Amino acid sequence: MRQGPLSMLLLCLLLMTPLARAEDPAASTPLSLSAGAQITDLQQRLKESEQQRETLSQQLHNADSERESAQLTRLRQENQRLKLQLKEAQASGLPRLLTDQQQWFLIGGAVALLAAVCGILAGGTFRRRRQWLN
């Protein structure tokens, strides 16, 4: 097959494509009247949607602030109640005589003293020790 006539045919088709588009009446006008009407309708709908979005965002913001203020009020009341309970507990309770560290020290000393007493009682008399040494 020869390449010459085929390439000429393709070249002619490519050159005729812009001419075929130029003859189309819808393509020759930049915007038809129906497209212009659609654009103005869409712009109007866009404005309405933006207004609705703005009102909804304001309502959401108001609802959030109301919810937060209610929660803040509840937390303040609970804080006041807990402060009163703390004051009552501090006023009614006896002051602590010993800290935790001092209590553990006393417990350890008592255990050591008890172990020493048990060891003396379990040992018996001193004669046994002398007999064992002899």
Q: Residue 53: inside a domain, yes or no? A: yes
What is the three-state SS of 23-70?
CCHHHHCCCCHHHHHHHHHHHHHHHHHHHHHHHHHHHHHHHHHHHHHH
pLDDT tens digit string along 104-115?
Answer: 999 999 999 999
Instruction: Assess contact for 102 and 110: CB atoms under 8 A.
Output: no
- Structural domain for 86, as ranges: 35-129
pTM for this one? Answer: 0.35
Instruction: Assess contact for 41 and 47: CB atoms under 8 A.
Output: no
Q: Residue 8: inside a domain, yes or no? A: no
Q: Residue 65: inside a domain, yes or no? A: yes
Q: Residue 103: inside a domain, yes or no? A: yes
Give Cα 109 distance to the centre of its chain.
Answer: 51
pLDDT tens digit string along 73-106?
Answer: 999 999 999 999 999 888 877 667 888 899 999 9
Q: Residue 121: inside a domain, yes or no? A: yes
More confident call, 62 vs 12 = 62
Q: Residue 30: inside a domain, yes or no? A: no
Q: How many separate domains does the chain show?
A: 1
